[in-house]
């Protein structure tokens, strides 16, 4: 399949690497809203202006849209679905139904497929939740995130006066996960599920007490959590906190039997060295499915819940049945 990448931030770079390593994908090019000359890409890959996209209509099987969920994707994905099969990673859970409807209108009208909200949450974690609740309809599911870097929380700290740089780790609380695994079906407050660890580089002479207090009392981001703040040097941040690890678990327990006498646990866990590279790999797998389904005449907006697993694999259905089933 011929894929193209729209946007070349962390996610776009991850898609490039995943496609480069895939045996069944070739990269038509990287499309950018910046000036193409200003985008640093690996040798041998073409960079085009996003304005040139219409000329590539017949050359791209699937366009992977690598933009932010806050302002980029709500506009980009419906617009691009007018000309291309697209995959995006829209991850604002509460706005997925609205985004789906907007994208669906465009994709149905143009006769393309637009797969939204690929990645791991939403994405693989959504699959874990849906499979578990389909098998055990009354199960209780819990999602824990981390230990991993939250970009949004790191950004929030960086906006505080006197802060030069920061990394925030979301950390699941072990005792809470253990209680879920043991089938106790606990009711957990926000504070009981996760804690937040902040590593902050402050300006010289900055009021560290004020910064720490501003972080810990920040509404929505930190106020509802047990938060630790550690001030470190720029060198230490670069040395020990440069990566973008993340992950988490979807844990479910449910009962079977005429009187619910037997209990079952279903757990799905990810531990990722690089959040954007893994997310990108999920996007590429769904691009593969989009390409296959488009050839079957399927159109409209889709999510990971609509895609049969075999369509994600580069292997044939026969190979999958023989070796993976």
Q: Closest approach of Cβ 180 to a second copy, in Å?
A: 12
Site for a second copy in 17-36 (CB under 8 A): 17-18, 20-23
CA distances from residue 68 to 7, 74, 152, 279 in whole angstroms, order as listed: 10, 9, 11, 13
Q: Which of 70, 75, 130, 208 binds a second copy (CB under 8 A)?
A: 130
Q: Closest approach of Cβ 206 to a second copy, in Å?
A: 34
Q: Closest approach of Cβ 214 to a second copy, in Å?
A: 33
For residues 220 to 259, the per-residue mask of contacts with a second copy, x marking binding by CB under 8 A and - elsewhere, is: ---------------------------x--------xxx-
Contact 12, 36 (CB under 8 A): no
Q: Closest approach of Cβ 65 to a second copy, in Å?
A: 17
The nearer residue to a second copy, 135 or 164, going by C-beta atoms, is 135
CA distances from residue 155 to 136, 152, 160, 215, 237 in whole angstroms, order as listed: 39, 5, 9, 11, 15
Strand partners, 114: 86, 301
The nearer residue to a second copy, 67 or 119, going by C-beta atoms, is 119
Q: Is 46 in the site for a second copy (CB under 8 A)?
A: no
Q: Is 321 in the site for a second copy (CB under 8 A)?
A: yes
The nearer residue to a second copy, 18 or 211, going by C-beta atoms, is 18
Question: Reduced to 3 states, what is the DSSP secondary structure of residue 92?
Answer: coil
Contact 62, 38 (CB under 8 A): no
The nearer residue to a second copy, 22 or 149, going by C-beta atoms, is 22
The nearer residue to a second copy, 21 or 217, going by C-beta atoms, is 21
* C-alpha–C-alpha distance, residues 135 and 98, integer Å: 28
The nearer residue to a second copy, 8 or 225, going by C-beta atoms, is 8
The nearer residue to a second copy, 186 or 245, going by C-beta atoms, is 245
Q: Closest approach of Cβ 137 to a second copy, in Å?
A: 6
Sign of CA dihedral 270, 325, 131, 284: positive
Q: Is 147 in the site for a second copy (CB under 8 A)?
A: no
Beta-carbon contacts of residue 48 (< 8 Å; ≥ 6 apart)? 29, 30, 31, 32, 36, 56
Q: Is 133 in the site for a second copy (CB under 8 A)?
A: yes
Site for a second copy in 249-308 (CB under 8 A): 256-258, 262-274, 277-278, 280-282, 285, 288, 303-308
Q: Closest approach of Cβ 134 to a second copy, in Å?
A: 4
Write the burial class of residue 325 (CB in 10 Å: 0-12 exposed, 13-18 middle, 19+ buried): exposed
* C-alpha–C-alpha distance, residues 79 and 63, integer Å: 12
* C-alpha–C-alpha distance, residues 251 and 144, integer Å: 8
Write the burial class of residue 110 (CB in 10 Å: 0-12 exposed, 13-18 middle, 19+ buried): middle
**Chain residues in the site for a second copy (CB under 8 A):** 14, 17-18, 20-23, 42, 93, 96-97, 100, 117, 122, 124, 126-131, 133-138, 247, 256-258, 262-274, 277-278, 280-282, 285, 288, 303-310, 312-315, 317-318, 320-322, 324-325
């Amino acid at each position: 399949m011929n894929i193209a990448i729209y946007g070349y931030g962390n996610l776009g770079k991850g898609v490039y690497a995943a496609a480069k390593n895939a045996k069944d994908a070739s990269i038509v090019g990287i499309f950018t809203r910046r000036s193409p000359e200003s985008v640093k890409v690996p040798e041998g890959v073409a960079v085009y202006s996003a304005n040139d996209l219409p000329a590539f209509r017949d050359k791209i099987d699937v366009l992977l849209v690598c933009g932010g969920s806050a302002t980029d994707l709500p506009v980009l994905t419906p617009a691009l679905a007018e000309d291309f099969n697209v995959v995006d990673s829209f991850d604002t859970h509460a706005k997925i139904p609205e985004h789906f409807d907007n994208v669906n209108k465009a994709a149905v009208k143009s006769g393309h497929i637009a797969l939204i909200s690929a990645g791991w949450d939403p994405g693989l974690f959504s699959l874990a939740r849906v499979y578990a609740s389909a098998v055990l309809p009354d199960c209780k599911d819990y999602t824990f995130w981390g230990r991993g870097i939250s970009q949004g929380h790191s950004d929030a700290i960086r906006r505080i006066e006197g802060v030069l740089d920061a990394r925030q780790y979301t950390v699941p609380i072990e005792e809470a996960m253990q209680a879920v695994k043991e089938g106790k079906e606990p009711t957990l407050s926000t504070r009981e599920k996760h804690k937040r660890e902040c590593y902050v580089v402050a300006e010289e002479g900055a009021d560290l007490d004020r910064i720490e207090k501003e972080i810990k009392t920040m509404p929505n981001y930190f106020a509802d959590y047990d938060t630790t703040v550690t001030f470190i040097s720029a060198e230490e941040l670069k040395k020990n906190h440069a990566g973008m690890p993340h992950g988490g678990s979807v844990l479910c327990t449910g009962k079977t039997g005429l009187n619910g006498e037997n209990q079952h646990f279903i757990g799905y866990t990810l531990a990722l060295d690089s959040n954007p590279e893994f997310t990108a790999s999920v996007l590429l797998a769904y691009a593969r499915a989009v390409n296959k389904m488009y050839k079957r005449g399927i159109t409209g907006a889709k999510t990971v819940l609509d895609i049969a697993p075999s369509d994600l694999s580069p292997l044939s259905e026969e190979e999958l049945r023989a070796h993976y089933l």
